[in-house]
Amino acid sequence: MLPGAAEVTDQFRLDGRIAVVTGASGGIGSAGALALAEAGADVALIGRNRAKLDAAADAVKAAGRRALVIEAEVTDEAAVNAAAAEVEAGLGPADILFNNAGITSPRLLADLPLDEWQRVIDVNLTGAYLCCRAFAPAMQARKHGRIINMGSILSGRGMATRTVYSASKAGLANLGAALCFELGPHGITVNTIGATVIVTDLNRELVRTQPELYGEVVRRTALGRLGEISDVTGVLVFLASPAAGFITGQTLYVDGGYTAG
């Protein structure tokens, strides 16, 4: 082994860290939880689907790490605060927060009712705000933390029929950019993953049978494909690790070059 090789590898380890993943019952959330566990972190999984949360927790345990399942809605302030207390009691104070919970509503403006607009904003943006506010104090007390928001290629640009989603993801990225100044003096980094369309079990069949829905994204992508979950999980572990300790306030686009043009 070359001199220093072990030290470089160690920069990507999360041994002894406690990670919190919201939206952990979804494809990206459950895979993100497992990736963090494989890097050495114990993981609290927050979501609404108990069966899927339990399955994700089993995968974390199979990786040799502790797992804690919490059924909670990220838009519920009391539930989020209770989850933070439960994580600290069950695993320890959180070191890593992955704000992954999110929904969309692909509608034209004229067809987008106010209650649906509010629901997407509540989950995608207000939910992240509530989680940051609940979990950051423990990080501040220990002068260390990583907050990673699940953004989008639409964090920095718009798309027809994605009005509220674009607004929520732009807000999420700028929430991170603002919080980096507030939390940076406490040793906490805040970054956003600007992901392209990621193929998951939820949309895989749709991508296969109706490629025209995603054709424009693929045509604008330098690498000529949509994203896979593994494209996101590696970046997640990097941003959570000591290797990314001097990166904060950034939106790191994981998009195959979509936003380069």
For the domain spanning 5-253, the CATH number is 3.40.50.720
The per-residue DSSP string of 24-84 comes to: TTSHHHHHHHHHHHHTT-EEEEEES-HHHHHHHHHHHHHTT--EEEEE--TT-HHHHHHHH
Position 159 scores a pLDDT of: 86
Q: Which pLDDT value is given to residue 2?
A: 58
State residue 93's pLDDT score: 98
> Model's pTM, two decimal places?
0.95
Question: Exactly one of 165, 214, 253, 258 is catalytic; which is it?
Answer: 165
165 in catalytic set: yes
**Tens of pLDDT, residue by residue, the chain (261 residues):** 555 655 778 999 999 999 999 999 999 999 999 999 999 999 999 999 999 999 999 999 999 999 999 999 999 999 999 999 999 999 999 999 999 999 999 999 999 999 999 999 999 999 999 999 999 999 999 999 999 999 999 999 988 889 999 999 999 999 999 999 999 999 999 999 999 999 998 788 888 887 887 898 999 999 999 999 999 999 999 999 999 999 999 999 999 999 997
Domain boundaries, the chain: 5-253
Show Cβ contacts of residue 165 under 8 Å, excluding neighbours closer than 6 positions.
104, 105, 106, 120, 124, 152, 154
* CB-based contact 138:155 (threshold 8 Å): no
